[in-house]
Structure 1
Amino acid sequence: MNDLKLIDTYKSFLQAYSPEQIRYIPEKGAWSIGQMYDHLIVVAHEYLDSVEACALAGGEQTQGKTEFGEYLFNIGGFPPVKIQLPPELNADPDNTKTKEDIRRELDQLMERMKELKIKVDEINPNYKQEHGGFGWLNAQEWFDLVAMHFRHHLRQKYELDGVWVKHGDGSDASI
């Protein structure tokens, strides 16, 4: 599934949720569906900022990925485990957005991705930006990380859907 189709799939999932489902936090330390969407959008823009930074780098970087970064890109995605970030990087995402807010932000993200997709192939692959966990990534790798991150959170989406079915009114928002 290509990057934009994946995000479009998230948009279609969004339509099935009620405002209560979007904001429902199942337990302390867990996120709501809306927070998961907010996290995906914010992080995607951070990754795309790094794509643009690679374009502006102007100098080649000889350092490569970390061992985990190599593993991640060799398997083409995140492993199917929950990843706990350090507390300073793990602020709770916004839980106030409406379905319309999230849809609009997904549309804006898709537009930005379309614009950068055209440019990313022209960026020198030796112009890189450092990722705290994965090492030095070039523009294409940063761009690919957006879809990898969206795919990784599909499991969380289905878990949250299951929690809602147990808690909510019995209707199933999973698709």
Structure 2
Amino acid sequence: MNKSKTFDYFNKVANTWLEDLEEKNEEDILINPFEGSWSISELYDHIIKVARTYQIPNFKKSVTTEVERKKRKNIKGLVIFNVGIKKINMKIKMENFPKPLVKDFTPIKQNKTELIKDFKQFINEVNSLKETLLKSKRKNKHYHLMFGDINTKDWFTLIAFHMAHHEKQKKKINEFLKSR
């Protein structure tokens, strides 16, 4: 996927998520449908938090002198970013991440108005990265815990792929809400 298509893909996914959120009522977004599961509000908050605290800062670092290179891109990274498989059946437990990331990634509940405002702001923040994305080079890489050294385009792609990764979870929550 070229850089412009990567950008368009993010907007397609993000706008679908925004439309879905806008259709929900206040009560539904706060319901935890299953023991130990997140509400819609928490799921969206998690997507935003991971992007703001991890993906976007590392995207930005990949084009600076602050880059950290540790290991070549691994097989997971190659499958996701080079082959383009967007959805991998992979259970990722936040407890397995370093403690500061767990704290940064743990969601909170927001009311619908706040969440929509925050999600729209998130979309705008990601869209503001377009120029950096288009100007980046393949050699601009920064280390990712699960994928190894990935380039700027991969870091950007990860934002949309993270939403795709949680699509199944969102669908389960939506099915529960419809069945009530």
In the superposition, the TM-score normalised over structure 2's length comes to 0.81
- 1:12–1:58 distance in 2 versus 1, CA, 3 Å: same
Tell me the secondary structure at the aligned position of residue 136 of structure 1. Answer: strand
Identity %: 25
Q: Which residue of 1 aligns with 2:3?
A: none
Contact 1:23 1:32 in 2 (8 A): yes
Q: Which residue of 2 aligns with 1:86?
A: 95
- Which of 55, 58, 73 aligns to 1:65? It is 73
Note the C-alpha offset of 1:84: 2.5
- 1:31–1:90 distance in 2 versus 1, CA, 3 Å: farther
Structure 2 unmatched ranges of 5 or more: 1-7
- 1:105–1:44 distance in 2 versus 1, CA, 3 Å: same
CA–CA distance in 1 between the matches of 2:160 and 2:17?
Answer: 11
Q: CA RMSD in A?
A: 2.2
- Which of 163, 171, 180 aligns to 1:158? It is 171
- Which of 145, 156, 162 aligns to 1:132? It is 145
Note the C-alpha offset of 1:63: 4.1
CA–CA distance in 2 between the matches of 1:77 and 1:37?
Answer: 19
In the superposition, the TM-score normalised over structure 1's length comes to 0.83
Tell me the secondary structure at the aligned position of residue 142 of structure 2. Answer: strand
Q: Which residue of 2 aligns with 1:172?
A: none
Structure 1 unmatched ranges of 5 or more: 169-175
Q: Which residue of 2 aligns with 1:3?
A: 10
Query: Which residues of 2 match residues 8-157 of structure 1 at below 5 A?
Result: 8-45=15-52, 46-57=54-65, 61=69, 63-73=71-81, 74-87=83-96, 88=99, 89-90=101-102, 92-95=106-109, 97-157=110-170
CA–CA distance in 1 between the matches of 2:36 and 2:149?
Answer: 31
Contact 2:71 2:149 in 1 (8 A): yes
Query: What letter is aligned with 1:27?
Result: F
Structure number with the higher helix fraction is 2
- 1:121–1:24 distance in 2 versus 1, CA, 3 Å: same
CA displacement 1:38-96 (0-9 Å, x = unmatched): 0111112221111111122367958421222222222332313443233545554111x
CA–CA distance in 2 between the matches of 1:11 and 1:60?
Answer: 34
**Which protein shows a greater Rg?**
1
Consecutive aligned runs of 4 or more in structure 1 exceeding 6 Å deviation: none
